[in-house]
Chains A and B, each alone.
Chain A
Amino acid sequence: MTDPYKTLGIPQNATDEEVKRAYRELAKKYHPDNYVDNPLADLAQEKMKEINEAYDTITRMRRGGGSGQAGYSSGYGGYSYQSGTDYSAIRQAIQSGNLQYAEELLNASQTRDAEWNFLMGSLNYRKGWLDDARSFFQRACNMNPSNMEYRQALNTVSQTNSPYRQTGYGPPAQNGGFDMCDMCTAMMCMNMMCNGCR
């Protein structure tokens, strides 16, 4: 079994608070919400499981063998959709990564309603064809403006913000932050490079 502390990226002597913080950050990073319709969702789920297990193990060990508290673990599994009768097979095919089958079903479908456009969008999103995905989601939203799921999907592909990085310059516990001294050393180093090599 792997070292649970290593899984969470913290030293053995980390305080309970640090354990919790490390766990929360990792859980946020690998949260299934970040991997909706993502071809790597299963890997993220595995990672999530590892993190949960590591956290459970640590809390159990620290409480002297009592049953650990499962943090974020419950209720993360399958992402539940409200299922339409005709489309549930397609949804399942997209979710399980059987994209070719999903595409065949969608192309064979006679109707071109909001749900169809939404699923077409999801399929394209999963393939990485984000521009087409956006067009389909847009159409789904136009047809059914009140559906939150469609709107959320459209939002995801229309956002223009950069990926959000949880870890900045590494955890403060390890390098003690950025103070004036670091700044001075950095300036000195830069100066040396400036003069030495030109």
Chain B
Amino acid sequence: MFGYVTPDLPELKLKEYQRFRALYCGLCHELGLRYGLPGRMILNYDFVFLAALLWDGDVPCGYRMRRCAVHPVCRRCVCESSPALTTAAGYSLILAYRKAEDGVEDSRGARRLGARAARVALGRPYRRAAAAYPDFDRQVSDRLRLLKDLENGGCESIDETADQFARLLASASGGVTGNAQRPLSELLYHVGRIVYIADAYADLAEDRKKGEYNPVAARFGVADGKPDEETRQAVLATLMSSSRLAAAAFELMPESRWTPICENIVYLGIPKMIREVTDGTYRAKNRGLPKEPEKNIRRNGE
């Protein structure tokens, strides 16, 4: 995915922030352990959130201090491997590979070269992940194919296109059994819907320049790559409605050790991202590593 789903860091308690970072590092180590260096390169925040959601309340969480290539001197606190991390790592690999595959077919120039390189590098790890999670792999490839058909057909409904991506993400709840499955599926559906539409909105100008299909432009008739106020309000309303439904679903999930962090993401992080995207203040570089709290304070000028 795209790294849109992050906590609102200044609102996170320090202890939760540290645990979130340990989970982030844990996912990175898990990707490295199972899929090697190429696996580590695809690490992103959306799947840290997924790992937190998939974490069964009863499964304990061990922490260890570990070094890695990015932090060679100072050891970092890292979550030890767990079923949730393993699943999240496998899913993120499958999605990254399938997206690279799409990129090879769709894009041109340097991007295509990049996608091709990613496809080669992720080929072997992907086969391993697909063998472990064949259902998810099938869902991803089916949904992305249907999505591409809709996009190539110039679909004018953002709901119809977003639905494919949302269902793709919702299928990540497939391995969960019991009471948690339905709320999780609904929550992931709306997170996927938000990510798809927010990404389309953020890419309006770029897609316009390249002459590529953009679902928001197709739905609201944005001609010059700059949405008018009416479009902005409509997108904001539909995304916020989704985030409220995501929150309603989240409340029906069983408690786990990651509940406070997920609560922050659902109630604060996602709405904040939606506001920033629709304001045009969301910057691509925000998608990188999380700023430490004190840096955030400085940047906000507080």
Contact = CB atoms under 8 A, between A and B. Distances in A.
Interface string B13-40: 1100000000000000000000000000
B136 interface: no
B237 A162 contact: no
Interface string B248-277: 110110000000100100111001001100
A89 interface: no
A196 B219 CA distance: 51
Given A40-B252, A190-B294, A134 B243 contact: no
B190 interface: yes
Nearest to B250: A163
Interface of A: 29-30, 34-35, 38-40, 43-44, 47, 124, 127-132, 134, 156-163, 165, 167, 169-170, 186, 189-190, 193-194, 196-197
Contacts of B236: 160
Nearest to A132: B159
Given A169-B13, A189-B14, A134 B234 contact: yes
A38 B14 contact: no
Contacts of B159: 124, 127-132
Contacts of B163: 127-129
B98 interface: no
Contacts of A193: 292, 294
A162 B292 contact: no
Contact of A194 (B243, B246, B263, B294): B294
B240 A128 contact: no
Contact of A39 (B186, B234, B267, B292): B186
B183 A162 contact: no
Contact of B247 (A39, A124, A127, A163): A163
B87 interface: no
Contacts of B237: 134, 157-160
Contact of A38 (B234, B245, B271): B245
Contacts of A190: 14, 292-294
Given A29-B251, A131-B234, A163 B166 contact: no
B250 to A, nearest CB: 9
Interface in B33-81: 71, 74
Given A165-B267, A186-B14, 15 more contacts: A38-B245, A40-B183, A40-B249, A128-B190, A130-B238, A130-B242, A130-B245, A131-B157, A131-B159, A131-B219, A134-B238, A159-B241, A162-B271, A193-B292, A193-B294
